[in-house]
Amino acid sequence: MAATVAKEMVRYNLSVLGLGETRWTHSGEVKLPSGQSVIYSGHEEDGANHTEGVAIMMTKETRKALIAWEPVSSRLITESFRTNSRRVKAHIIQCHAPANDAVDDVKAMFYDSLNHLLGRVGARDLIILMGDFNAKIGGWNEGYKEVMGKHGVGKMNENGEMVVETCVNNNLVIGGSVFPHKTIHNVGVTRPCYRKPNRSHLYL
């Protein structure tokens, strides 16, 4: 799987690529024959099921700028990078949020961890928060114009509300909602049982 993803990364000329549902257990770093590095985080328990899991794949050049990384959980991983400014760091957080119908305690644990990570970031630093939030934010942004545009998909669900509140509390913007996109670029996987397209992967 990693080799195939690495080829696509080269094809699209990407420096960093977030991965979700890797189903890898434990945490660590893998260097691929093609030169990219994959830093991953999964369930830490011995004998744990191969579910969830998040990772960030990066080029050799990007890896040189890496300062630190933290495998927070099977749903969260964060990495910090040097930038051209000595006073500014760039932080990338890759997420895989619980499903919209997950129990409230599981959702609360995820967002508590996420907000804790965001609260540690310096005021001058850059944040890129990306991944599968299992959320719909819709196109109605009344009251939330500072954090989202009008080009979301579907109707806002409970997870969407939690994402938007996270943005409000941490001064983040849902980038994909600000400008219009072609439908093929604006939706994610659509299950056969659903007639309407869906997008749950967001970049903040």
Taken as a whole, the chain contains a residue count of: 204
Q: At what angle do helices 104-120 and 158-170 cross, to 10 degrees?
A: 20
pLDDT in tens, 1-55: 788 999 999 999 999 999 999 999 999 999 999 999 999 999 999 888 899 999 9
Look at residue 204 in the predicted model and tell me its pLDDT: 55
| Per-residue pLDDT at 152 exceeds 90 | no
Q: What does pTM read for this prediction?
A: 0.84
Distance of CA 162 to the CA centre of its chain: 15
**Considering only CA atoms, which of 170, 68, 86 is closest in space to residue 123?**
170
pLDDT in tens, 98-129: 999 999 999 999 999 999 999 999 999 999 99
CA atoms of 202 and 133, how far apart (whole Å) = 7
CA atoms of 18 and 74, how far apart (whole Å) = 14
Q: What angle do CA 67, 163, 73 make, to 5 degrees?
A: 45
Which two three-digit tokens encode residue 71?
Answer: 């495998």
Look at residue 179 in the predicted model and tell me its pLDDT: 66
Look at residue 185 in the predicted model and tell me its pLDDT: 46
pLDDT in tens, 128-143: 999 999 988 888 777 7
Do 166 and 172 touch, CB atoms closer than 8 A?
yes
Domains in the chain, ordered, with CATH? Answer: 61-203 (3.60.10.10)
